[in-house]
């Protein structure tokens, strides 16, 4: 172990003791896109004991510009992101346990994922999931690190239950911006900068160096050369429903769950089925074969009926490509999958 991690051990705030602590920790990575792959690679190279990576999507060509673990072969084969990421990460460090979950995150899934988790890293692209992470973090006292990128702008903040304001508190005080990658695009350098902030904070937490945590919200625009570091400690709200004196964790309730979601920058709607259970993709493919173009791998079924493409996973989730209209997406879903 000393050979592989010798330079990290020479860094005195980590040292041999910190390296041994790191090897005992479990990180939950929500999202395997740009931030997820960047953070995962750094933590795997650093020697974290276990990483569970969760993502609902598969690799597409537009991902290759900034999502560092994926290849053209992954995009051609529409490999689920977590499967491709796990394969690459195990080639980097076989001593790290990598767990891959092809699921969409709801409160139910989050509750099943957090057992033994020491840290949650946000690598998602929407606030529905982030608010679920936030409430789970507060309820089970697990720290998490928020991060987001769009265009050339990045933002990150570390949230410690019982100590710092939570995301729910911040959303009442700090404008998070209305741009998305659909409207503004994104450049790769800003991804790497947010990853650097998130992974550095992660190493501090995982090696029990909490006194070194930044404790400020940081934001920056790499194109306009602007940066801000904001003390948000006064934003903690004692009446916050997520982290206040009488929390109800509102984003874990059934009513708060989103059954449809328009995916960022994809002209795509995700639809979750009303009932859980594994789907027989082979039978569905046979039924659709005379209706349009059907392609399959071990993880998903892709059905194209121009100008739309519908992708179904084993859990029944469907990505409807070619529309951002939820009503139209539902109509296509019911038309082909019942």
- What pLDDT, on the 0 to 100 scale, is given for residue 272? 85
Phi-psi region of 215 (alpha: psi -120 to 50; beta: other; left: phi over 0): left
> What's the average model confidence in pLDDT over 157-175?
89
- Domains of the chain are 6-254 (3.40.50.720), 259-337 (3.30.310)
Average pLDDT of the segment spanning 278-295: 88
pLDDT score at 257: 61
Quick check: 276 pLDDT over 80?
A: no
Distance CA(294)–CA(39), nearest Å, equals 35
- The pLDDT tens digits for 28-76 are 999 999 999 999 999 999 999 999 999 988 999 999 999 999 999 999 9
- Whose tokens are 């709801």? That residue is 106
The pair of structure tokens assigned to 271 is 């639809």
> pLDDT tens, 227-251?
999 999 999 999 999 999 999 999 8
Q: Are 128 and 162 in contact (CB under 8 A)?
A: no
């Amino acid at each position: 172990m000393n050979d592989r991690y010798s330079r990290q051990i020479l860094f005195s705030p980590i040292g041999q003791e910190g390296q041994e602590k790191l090897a005992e920790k479990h990180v939950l990575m929500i999202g395997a896109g740009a931030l997820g792959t960047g953070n995962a690679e750094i933590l795997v190279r650093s020697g974290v004991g276990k990483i569970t990576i969760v993502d609902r999507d598969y690799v597409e060509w537009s991902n290759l510009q900034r999502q560092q673990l994926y290849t053209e072969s992954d995009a051609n084969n529409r490999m689920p992101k977590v499967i491709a990421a796990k394969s690459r990460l195990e080639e980097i460090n076989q001593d790290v346990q990598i767990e891959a979950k092809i699921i969409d995150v709801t409160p139910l899934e989050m509750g099943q994922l957090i057992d033994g988790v020491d840290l949650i890293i946000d690598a998602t692209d929407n606030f529905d999931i982030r608010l679920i992470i936030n409430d789970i973090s507060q309820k089970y006292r697990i720290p998490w690190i928020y991060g987001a990128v769009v265009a050339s702008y990045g933002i990150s903040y570390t949230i410690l239950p019982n100590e710092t304001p939570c995301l729910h508190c911040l959303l009442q005080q700090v404008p998070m911006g209305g741009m998305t990658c659909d409207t503004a695009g994104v450049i790769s350098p800003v991804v790497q900068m947010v990853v650097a902030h998130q992974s550095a904070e992660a190493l501090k937490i995982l090696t029990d160096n909490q006194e070194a945590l930044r404790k400020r919200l940081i934001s920056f625009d790499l194109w306009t050369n602007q940066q801000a570091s904001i003390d948000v400690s006064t934003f903690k709200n004692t009446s916050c429903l997520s982290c206040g004196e009488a929390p109800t964790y509102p984003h874990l309730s059934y009513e708060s769950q989103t059954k449809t979601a328009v995916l960022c920058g994809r002209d795509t709607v995700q639809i979750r089925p009303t009932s859980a259970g594994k789907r027989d993709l082979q039978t569905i493919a046979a039924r659709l074969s005379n209706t349009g173009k059907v392609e399959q791998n071990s993880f998903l079924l892709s059905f194209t009926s121009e100008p739309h493409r519908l992708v179904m996973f084993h859990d029944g989730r469907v990505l409807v490509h070619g529309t951002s209209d939820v009503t139209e997406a539902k109509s296509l879903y019911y038309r082909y999958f019942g």
